[in-house]
Structure 1
Amino acid sequence: MKIEVWSDFVCPFCYIGKRRLEEALSSFPHRENVEIIFRSFELDPDVKKETPLNIHEMIAQKYGISVDEAKRANADIGKQAEALGLTFRFETMKPTNTFDAHRLAQYAKKKGKLHEVVERLFYAYFTESKQISDRNVLLELAEAAGLDRKEAEVVLDDGRYAEQVRHEEAIAAQLGVRGVPFFVLNQKYAISGAQPVEVFRQAIERVWTEEQQSSSLQSLAEEGKTCTDENCTID
């Protein structure tokens, strides 16, 4: 079974959805036969590497709500993350552009280190409050994941894997992906949003045993919480 996951490293529900999927798979008896592939998706391709706004101010601006309302919404998201053993430090997060992080992930995929780099990027942004567009930060994460630092340096400096990032974003557009996380199982079924663990578990079991053929994606659940280029669901 192949599970493709479109996500962005600054999307809170992407990290939450990743953990819920992993939890669902932990009790699946055929886990070793499931391949998870993370695909590139930028929530806001136009955001600068450095912004004067903190995460609360940025969300308030996008939603047209007050900063206090944004803080309450983020606190709720933080509680969902905490229930999964994740720590989201909203007060010190550094909103930034993720294009280079996605290029690094594409390089990691070629080297067989995709999962290590994806997890480190999420953790660096949400828990360590690192600026994941910064070249030195990306090189540190690459090296910590077991990648060759000099090779990673060349990748970041000469623009490699940009085409692969754009290609996966184009596929997402063709599939009609409007928000992330977005999961595609065996290129037949789609799950939108950070669904509960049981939804993932049931979907995995169903797809595993399903033999019908279909040329189009079929939704396996009502739309869950996602982040789009405009906002993250907060209600």
Structure 2
Amino acid sequence: MSSALKIDFVSDVSCPWCVVGLYGLLRALEILRDEVQAEIRFQPFELNPKMGAEGQNIGEHIQEKYGSTPEQSQKNREVIRARGADVGFAFRTDSNSRIYNTFDAHRLLHWAGEEGLQLPLKEALFKAYFTDGGNPSDHGQLAQIAESVGLDRQRAEAILASDEFASDVREEEQLWLSRGVSSVPTVVFNGQYAVTGGQPVDTFVGAIRQIMSEAKGGTVN
């Protein structure tokens, strides 16, 4: 008999390691499908909450924020591309890619959670940005992405044209910051066990088995 597992996946749609972490987690859950009945809830985190509507060149941004040289950025992209390929995701970002504000994407994700379509929307947002070079702050693109996963386009457009769910998203962001989440992805199991970073499949499998064993009062060597 499988055990219930509640997962809060704290992440941003413009975070490449969040993609790696999500697909590692999903593969782990597929391996454990006979042991675990998981419910994933995506929680908002903005890497660049003050980013303007026009965005910024990715190389410039990373150099300003982290002090990385173009060569270091290129190497990091190669590592991420390889890790993505390992879990079946195609990263196509390059030195001309841009970083954008993601707040409106998080508002749509909050709504998608109420509609039971959060995971497909999250995956579609990742693909639109990292594979197709899209802009996750563009309302037209966001409405199209929402429609592509079965959400109502007119409703999506109405949300984007208003401040609907803005306060919900800000409250959720503050909640996770107050719980000490300072980097993403942070994956929280049953509200108490956290795994951070874009971990490989085996790491997630081991962590979940350990958590499930402790929940049942057993031990894992």
Does the pair score TM above 0.5? yes
1:87 is matched with 90
Contact 2:185 2:198 in 1 (8 A): yes
* 1:211 Cα deviation from its structure 2 partner: 2.9
Contact 2:7 2:188 in 1 (8 A): yes
Contact 1:7 1:39 in 2 (8 A): yes
Q: List per-residue Cα deviations over 1:40-60 (Å, max 9, x = no partner).
A: 110110011213x42122212
Which of 5, 9, 15 is the equivalent residue of 2:19?
Answer: 15
1:101 is matched with 105
Contact 1:46 1:97 in 2 (8 A): yes
Percent pairwise identity:
38
Change (3 A) 1:73 1:211: closer
* 1:32 Cα deviation from its structure 2 partner: 6.4
Structure 1, 102-111 or 31-40: larger mean CA deviation? 31-40
Q: Whose strand fraction is larger, Structure 1's or Structure 2's?
A: 2
Which of 91, 114, 125 is the equivalent residue of 2:129?
Answer: 125
Cα RMSD, aligned residues only:
1.6
Question: Following TM superposition, where does structure 1 have runs of at least 4 consecutive aligned residues deviating by more than 4 angstroms?
Answer: none
Mapped to 2, the partners of 1:115 and 1:22 lie a distance apart of 10
Structure 1: gaps of 5 or more residues: 214-235
Contact 1:3 1:186 in 2 (8 A): yes
2:57 is matched with 54
TM-score, with normalisation over the residues of structure 2?
Answer: 0.90
2:157 is matched with 153
- For the pair 1:172 / 2:173, whether they are aligned, the reply is no
TM-score, with normalisation over the residues of structure 1?
Answer: 0.85
Mapped to 1, the partners of 2:158 and 2:68 lie a distance apart of 42
Contact 2:125 2:145 in 1 (8 A): yes
* 1:31 Cα deviation from its structure 2 partner: 6.2
Contact 1:39 1:168 in 2 (8 A): yes
